[in-house]
Amino acid sequence: MRIAIVSPYDYFYPGGVGEHVRGLSAALRDHGHEVIVLAPSNVATSGVATPGYVRMGRSVPVPGNGSLAHIGLSVSLGRRVDELLDTACFDVIHYHEPLLPTVPLTVLRRHHGANVGTFHAYAGRSLGYQYGRRFLSRYFRRLHSCIAVSVPACDHVRRYFPGDYHVIPNGVDTTRFAPSRPPHQGLRRSGMFTLLFVGRLDKRKGLETLLAAYEMLRTVRSDVRLVLVGDGPKGAACRRHVTRRHIPDVDFRGFVDAAMLPGYYTGADIFCAPATGQESFGIVLLEAMASGVPVVASAIAGFSEIIGNGREGLLLPPGDAAAWSRALAALLDDPARRRRMRAAGVAAAQRYAWQRVTEEILEVYEEARLRERRGLVAACLPALYGCPAGEHPVAGQV
């Protein structure tokens, strides 16, 4: 098939959706399909350096859901999208967060073919969906098939846009992230345990909890260090906090090259994910599990679907630094338990291998193509057995 994948987020800015899009597009190509990715970026030469990527304007940081999203807000994409759709006939266009401005909405409005939407977000409430539902429903009715990356994500979007959804999780490259990958040079220190955090340094990721727990841990033992990979709006404040409190052996690495990331996981003894909530999934959890690293994570909806408490890792109360400190100390002192968690994590990660996930997504593509030919959309299907004839929405009615 000829497939276009559309994302509202900056293609080269680190984030879960971007990682999903890159992984899925590579897996689809491995299956023999032709794939292009349409997404904004602030890297002007990215289209030359990245085959299969088409730059759709610039991105700007927009606050939302406890984080900063770098999304494209160009209002002048229409002509470029029209030219692209006129010259390339796509069997399927797959939109990630299809109801976000501006790239997905622009393409979705103009494409007269099979449309698939994947919803990633999870939150207690979405003001954008709530107040924009009437406007966005017209676009939602252009989606022939819908995917949510987890049950919490499905419950969240279905509250505003009822319809037929498939729950298909994020994937992980189990060849790239594997226990056999050599640790990053200099990450391991003799006689020291390494705790690892990977993610944006923003409020939603809960780094304050991890720093407080680590500070408590260092008051009772000196054989542990903390390595932080990533940056973000809370980065400067966290660095000042560490300096002001004289917390030892905290290593801020900032953003690291994607090729180096697997070595950070295999160089760690425990992976920490202290997010406060509003996480629909947790790709970093899969990367750690596939790399054979025990996971200590917050007991929130998106993480609890991946981690079995006491099996692949530990699930702890978000924001409870004392509980985190005690749990980390106990796990560091129990090498047999860490070995069991490593083995369980590697085995569990195979369920999320891109090969398997991509096959499920391809089935949805075929479903969408069939529905498009029959004039059916995902919005109408829950009501097919109860609605009066003639009241079902039809694809393209915008």
- Looking at the chain, the whole-number percentage of residues with pLDDT higher than 90 is 77
Provide the 3-class DSSP secondary structure of residue 172: strand
Q: Identify the band that residue 47 occupies on the pLDDT scale cut at 50, 70 and 90.
A: very low
Closest CA to 301 of 106, 150, 120: 150
Whether residue 368 is predicted with pLDDT greater than 80 in this model: the reply is yes
Among the residue ranges 32-46, 222-236, 261-275, the one predicted with the least confidence is 32-46
What local confidence, expressed as pLDDT, does residue 125 receive? 77
Q: Where are the domains of the chain?
A: 2-171+354-383, 193-351
Based on the number of CB atoms within 10 Å of its own CB, is 380 exposed (0-12), middle (13-18) or buried (19 or more)?
Answer: buried
Q: Identify the band that residue 167 occupies on the pLDDT scale cut at 50, 70 and 90.
A: very high
Across residues 168-189, what is the average pLDDT?
93
| Residue found by looking up tokens 């932080």 in the block | 228
Mean pLDDT taken over the chain: 91
Whether residue 55 is predicted with pLDDT greater than 90 in this model: the reply is yes
378: which DSSP letter?
A: G
What local confidence, expressed as pLDDT, does residue 383 receive? 42
Tokens representing residue 127 in the block? 């003001």
Residue type, position 224, single letter? V
What local confidence, expressed as pLDDT, does residue 75 receive? 79
Whether residue 73 is predicted with pLDDT greater than 90 in this model: the reply is no
| pLDDT tens sequence across 102-161 | 999 999 999 999 999 999 988 777 888 999 999 999 999 999 999 999 999 999 999 999
Whether residue 395 is predicted with pLDDT greater than 70 in this model: the reply is no
Whether residue 204 is predicted with pLDDT greater than 90 in this model: the reply is no
The more confident residue out of 70 and 226 is 226
Across residues 371-381, what is the average pLDDT?
92
Q: Identify the band that residue 203 occupies on the pLDDT scale cut at 50, 70 and 90.
A: confident
Q: Answer yes or no: CATH 3.40.50.2000 is held by domain 2-171+354-383.
A: yes
Domain 193-351: CATH superfamily, name plus number: Glycogen Phosphorylase B; (3.40.50.2000)
Distance CA 12, CA 27 (A): 18
The more confident residue out of 190 and 45 is 190
The answer to whether 95 touches 104, Cβ cutoff 8 Å, is yes
Distance CA 177, CA 190 (A): 24
| Residue found by looking up tokens 């299956």 in the block | 31
Based on the number of CB atoms within 10 Å of its own CB, is 224 exposed (0-12), middle (13-18) or buried (19 or more)?
Answer: buried
Across residues 176-192, what is the average pLDDT?
91
Tokens representing residue 288 in the block? 């750690």
| Cα–Cα separations (whole angstroms), residue 338 to 211, 295, 304, 346 | 22, 9, 19, 12
The answer to whether 9 touches 17, Cβ cutoff 8 Å, is yes
| Cα–Cα separations (whole angstroms), residue 332 to 61, 65, 191, 285, 295 | 38, 33, 12, 19, 12
Whether residue 87 is predicted with pLDDT greater than 80 in this model: the reply is yes
Whether residue 397 is predicted with pLDDT greater than 70 in this model: the reply is no
Tokens representing residue 241 in the block? 């906090």
Whether residue 34 is predicted with pLDDT greater than 50 in this model: the reply is yes
| Residue found by looking up tokens 């990682």 in the block | 19
Based on the number of CB atoms within 10 Å of its own CB, is 388 exposed (0-12), middle (13-18) or buried (19 or more)?
Answer: exposed
| pLDDT tens sequence across 290-343 | 999 999 999 998 899 899 999 999 999 999 999 999 999 999 999 999 999 999
What local confidence, expressed as pLDDT, does residue 107 receive? 97
Whether residue 185 is predicted with pLDDT greater than 50 in this model: the reply is yes
Q: Identify the band that residue 66 occupies on the pLDDT scale cut at 50, 70 and 90.
A: low
N-to-C CA span, the chain: 26
The reply to whether 2-171+354-383 and 193-351 are identical in fold is yes
- Looking at the chain, the whole-number percentage of residues with pLDDT higher than 70 is 93
Distance CA 217, CA 333 (A): 12
Q: Is pTM beyond 0.95 here?
A: no
